[in-house]
Structure 1
Amino acid sequence: MKVLLSRQGGLFVCGTNAFNPLCANYTGDTLEMVGETVSGMARCPYDPKHANVALFAEGNLFTATVTDFLAIDAVIYRSLGDSPALRTVKHDSKWFREPYFVSSVEWGPHIYFFFREMAVEFNYLEKVRD
């Protein structure tokens, strides 16, 4: 299990499902599944070793994870609400450089994501790990 969130008196759960991520809603009292499973892509990583964060805000699910087996395509993704799905630019190193997602926070009308990433130093153009 990589995502476990309270939602409308129940639980929203996502897991790697043997490298085929799936999500489902469950009742809060009996833990019975409600409705069908939905794809966990961009909501949950394929590999349990990869970091991810998730939260519900204003009816939308906000997630930060990787969307492929090699953890190359990092994404911040909005889904499951009334607004259309929205994601960060795909495969753009100006957005992320091997991020490790740590946390997400709703603050007023904003959602903040906290992560660590590889730095490329200006003078040396080499990877530096903090």
Structure 2
Amino acid sequence: MYGRRGLFWQIEDYPYGYSTPFQLFDAAKGSRSFVQKLSLHAKLPVHNGCVNTICWNDAGTHILSGSDDQHLCITNGYSHEIVADIRTGHTANIFSAKFLPNTGDHLVVSCSGDGVIAYSDVERPETSLHNL
């Protein structure tokens, strides 16, 4: 409707239905001034080693992270409490981890530098499967 407009205009128009969530997201991600104003909100000391991957769940309430310590952690994004700390069985750094869709955030998949893809059940971490 308006073409590509600035973030301010997208926020102002949003309550009136003139801008969609996608347009608002696109304006924020493409706004250098918005990104430059971001600051550190909190540090989450949940890993020993470099964190290589993070992923929000679909509801935007929990963060899944994977690290050089070969653990997956699920942290509440608001209270910063650790919900789960999963020993994956990986023997190298974890480089990617995702919540599997339509599983209520109970199932995650991860891959690491050892070439292994692991499937983990958050509620039963001892049942992790490897080399899928």
TM category, shorter:
0.3 to 0.5
Between structures 1 and 2, the one with greater strand share: 1
TM-score, scaled to structure 2: 0.41
TM-score, scaled to structure 1: 0.41
Larger Rg: 2
Between structures 1 and 2, the one with greater helix share: 2
